[in-house]
Amino acid sequence: MPLGQRAGDKSESRYCGVETEYHDDMPHLLTHSLSGGFDFIVAPLVDPSYRPSSMRNDVGSCSVLPVAASDLVLSPSQWSSHVVGKISSWIDLDSDNEEVRLGSEITLKQEIAWASHLSLQACILPPPRQAACGNYARCVNQILQGTSNMQLWLRIPLEKSESMEDCSADANSDLPAGGMFDSWEWWNSFRLLCEHHSQLSVALDILSSLPSNNSIGRWFGEPVRAAFVHTNSFLTNARGYPCLSKRHQKLITGFFNHSIQIVISGNVRHNISGDIIEALPANNDESHEVTPSRHSLKPYLDYVAYIYQRMDPLPEQERFELGYRDFLQSPLQPLMDNLEAQTYETFEKDIVKYTQCYFQLQYQRAVSKALIDRVPDENASTAIMVLMVVGAGRGPLVRASLQAAEETGRKLKVYAVEKNPNAVITLHSLVKLEGWEGIVTIISSDMRCWNAPEKADILVSELLGSFGDNELSPECLDGAQRFLKPDGISIPSSYTSFIQPVTATKLYNDVKSHKDLAHFETAYVVKLHRIARLAPSQPVFTFAHPEYSKKGNERYKKLLFEIPPDSGSALVHGFAGYFDATLYKDVHLGIEPSMATPNMFSWFPIFFPLRKPLYVPKGSLVEVHFWRCTASTKVWYEWCVTSPSTSPIHNSNGRSYWVGL
């Protein structure tokens, strides 16, 4: 049964499995594990003593694979839902011994074929025995080319040490002693040889010692599907029950948040006479009946369930965003296309921008401060400020501006300029509904073409994209600033774009699946989730308004990123982009992670992919070049890396991706 119920969490990480030994009575093994509270088993499918050579030498035997059970002993749904196959751990496809190597190839293919026949969803591949695993990867890649649905999970120890001697003391580690070791390098070599195949994933072995947080962080951008938590990773609390260190608890919580399933592995290491629930806090009120057939690893399962159950429920905003996680979307073309009602509806669900929540609306705060600065208290009852909302949409910024006027006791005359004729219909209805006829004038026009009858004291706009300027706010506001008085105020007053290198295997595979150049040269709006942020973000382009220098809106920036030394090597699949905007004075709005406005749905980050993932050795700098290019009818970005290796310049001359003026 699932570890517990948590609002909004329907991910696979609710289910916990158990690793078992080979057993010729598969129905009994499965029944015992499921009745003990586990949701699935990770079990060898073939007798571990089997060797192809012994079968060939045995004259009296037929070449029948000694499997654990007939496919008939379980239903197809049981095989598919409750069994993960475990490939024989003895295989060594890169052995210098030809008999061992050939036997390993035969066995791997036989066991995968049997697992596929059983309709298993996944099989666990044993870890590479050495960094040089070319033949192992070749055989797995061959299998992947002919596999339709089954996933192959390569088992990798979560290990990084300056010396192999640091990890050789672990009882579950088969790693050689001496020298430096980073298990991520094993995985990276293997997946490169397998061409980043989307059905090749990772199963991490969690041992008693953990590498640095930065080293662990790399894995959250990789396709990790399961984490084997060994019983020798558990500590013992004062009452003799198993528990985990704070770092292990935090790691497992991270796994839950990234849909990574936990598998309990190993032998019982705690002598427990009672039920584990007695040792857990009172809020863990799930009751268990102790029976003679109680699974010996149930106390470890209970502790993992306890970690899951004490996690906070997903906030409403995150539950709303679940379906958008790691889903690539093409950026809007706001000048070329008229937005649909559903798009406006999505924007207006943002609980920070458009509704009163924990604090006042950022735009309302900005307009309030601007009105107070613009109109002294002694003139509040007589002075009428002219405010123009350019790009009014369905009216949320008009409403925020009028609320700011009411809050500050100032008087406003509002022009709502909107080019979308369908949104203008809604604006007219809103004016009548709210009784704004004497205050709000609706202008159905492109702001670049309209001739205003008077100058504005305050110009309000929301033309910002995920990268700040990517929806052409600079070009629009440059054209609209002719409406402003010489000392007029623009809200926003400035905005800056940011980028950072990321590991994003899922996003890379999704782009690669299109099998063309154009998709690798397109920037995508995406709710980033299964990524690893490899270095802090850095500013790229800044625009300020009003802008009277007429220096143009083309930009170029070179940036150097240093991945923390304790992270180890990393693979960069692309760059995550964000923005931060100063609306007015100290009022900010943005999605840059270190200073993001909480709970914003209207803007997801932007993702700039690389055509070929960039391998960054430990201690290397990542040198990135970004250009913002303009022409008479379009604006586009170009990007490349020049260190530690050189990539092509992406999207040269806007051949694949551009925004139309």
The residues carrying an active-site annotation are 462, 471
Is 373 annotated in some ligand binding site?
no
CA nearest neighbour of 476 among 546, 412, 373, 395 = 546
Instruction: Please tell me whether residue 307 adopts helix, strand or coil conformation.
Output: helix
What is the Rg, in whole angstroms, of the alpha carbon atoms belonging to the chain?
30
CA nearest neighbour of 241 among 265, 268, 272 = 272
Q: How far is CA 514 from the centre of its chain?
A: 20
Is 353 annotated in some ligand binding site?
yes
Instruction: Please tell me whether residue 402 adopts helix, strand or coil conformation.
Output: helix
Angstrom distance (rounded) from CA 172 to CA 154? 16
Give every CB contact of residue 614 below 8 A, 6+ residues apart in sequence: 501, 571, 572, 622, 641, 644, 645, 647
Only one residue has tokens 């609390």, namely 237
| H-state helical runs in 312-392 | 316-321, 341-348, 362-374
Is 418 annotated in some ligand binding site?
yes
User: Which is it for strands 224-230 and 200-206: parallel, antiparallel or unpaired?
Assistant: parallel
Kindly tell me the burial class for residue 75, based on how many C-beta atoms sit within 10 Å of its own C-beta (0-12, 13-18, 19 or more): exposed
Contact, 330 vs 525, CB < 8 A? yes
Q: What is the DSSP string of 329-347?
A: BPPP-TTTSPPPHHHHHHH
Is 562 annotated in some ligand binding site?
no
Angstrom distance (rounded) from CA 279 to CA 239? 7
Question: 135 has which bridge partners?
Answer: none
How is residue 119 written in tokens?
A: 């309709």
Q: CB atoms < 10 A from the CB of 267, how many?
A: 11
Q: For 513, how many CA atoms within 13 A lie in the half-sphere containing its CB?
A: 10
Contact, 384 vs 410, CB < 8 A? no
Contact, 526 vs 595, CB < 8 A? no
Give every CB contact of residue 341 below 8 A, 6+ residues apart in sequence: 422
Is 354 annotated in some ligand binding site?
yes
How is residue 405 written in tokens?
A: 């006027």
How is residue 37 written in tokens?
A: 């509270």
Contact, 325 vs 529, CB < 8 A? yes
Give every CB contact of residue 57 below 8 A, 6+ residues apart in sequence: none
CA nearest neighbour of 17 among 246, 253, 295 = 295
Q: Which amino acids are annotated as binding site, given as ranges? A: 344, 353-354, 418, 446-447
Q: Which amino acids are annotated as binding site for S-adenosyl-L-methionine, given as ranges? A: 344, 353-354, 418, 446-447
